[in-house]
């Protein structure tokens, strides 16, 4: 299934999640912020499953690499959610943390970079199919992204920052929800690529 028909539901989850995060942050309700972040993450993963799992069946031939574009767009949306959460929680929710805008801007940059990279390598999935080398390059970038996200999550947990008494607790919850979402999208993308025989294709 393509991402486009599911976008309204995903955007609704995006907006509701951000709204609840802001309201909960204003009340310093850490649990509610975590649940609101999980709302978006779970909806994104449901969309991801509906895009990719049908392609894993034997003999499936999707033709163009539309799944790669859709997964990249979903990744960009996850980064954009993190950026929106940072900007709204700390500008409207009453929390004070001086680094919020830097991380918010960084996530926005990652969203744009994801779209640009995917557009250059595989297009939007509606034009000519991407060649094997371009898709292989995108999957290598995906592997690097996975490694970076795993390292960041491990550091966040191992460093004890989740037990902070400062107002960066909300940012940490955004990092966890957004990081897990991007990690799952990346992993599923690699599984789809391998299931469709991409890993066995010789580099051009």
**Could you write out the DSSP letters of every residue in 47-58?**
HHHHHHGGGGST
Going residue by residue through the chain, which has 204 residues, state the pLDDT in tens, using 9 for 90 and above.
789 899 999 999 999 999 999 999 999 999 999 999 999 999 999 999 999 999 988 555 555 678 999 999 999 999 999 999 999 999 999 999 989 999 999 999 999 999 999 988 887 655 545 567 888 999 999 999 999 999 999 999 999 888 888 899 999 999 999 999 999 999 999 999 998 876 555 444
Strand, coil or helix: what is 189? Answer: helix
pLDDT for 31 equals 96
- pLDDT confidence of residue 58: 59
Spatial separation of the C-alpha atoms in residues 157 and 151, rounded to whole Å: 10
Cα 146 to Cα 137: distance, rounded to the nearest angstrom? 14
pTM: 0.91
Helices 66-92 and 169-195 meet at what angle, rounded to 10? Answer: 180
- CA 72 – CA 117 distance, rounded (Å): 9
Residue 161: per-residue pLDDT: 85
- Domain span at 165: 4-200
As for how many domains the chain has, the answer is 1
Query: Taking a C-beta distance cutoff of 8 angstroms, is the pair 100, 86 a contact?
Result: yes
């Amino acid at each position: 299934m393509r991402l486009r028909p599911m976008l309204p539901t995903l955007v609704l989850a995006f907006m509701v999640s951000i709204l609840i995060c802001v309201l909960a942050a204003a009340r310093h309700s850490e649990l509610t912020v975590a649940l609101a972040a999980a709302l978006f993450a779970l909806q994104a993963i449901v969309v991801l499953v509906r895009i990719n799992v049908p392609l894993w069946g034997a003999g499936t031939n999707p033709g163009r690499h539309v799944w790669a574009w859709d997964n990249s767009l979903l990744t960009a949306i996850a980064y954009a959610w993190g950026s929106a959460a940072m900007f709204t929680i700390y500008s409207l929710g009453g929390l004070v943390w001086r680094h919020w805008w830097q991380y918010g801007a960084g996530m926005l940059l990652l969203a744009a970079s994801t779209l640009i990279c995917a557009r250059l390598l595989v297009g939007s999935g509606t034009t000519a199919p991407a060649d094997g080398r371009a898709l292989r390059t995108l999957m290598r970038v995906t592997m690097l992204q996975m490694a970076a996200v795993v390292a960041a999550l491990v550091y966040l947990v191992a460093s004890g920052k989740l037990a902070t008494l400062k107002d960066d607790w909300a940012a940490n919850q955004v990092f966890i929800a957004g990081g897990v979402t991007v990690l799952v999208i990346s992993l599923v993308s690699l599984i789809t690529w391998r299931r469709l025989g991409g890993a066995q294709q010789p580099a051009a």
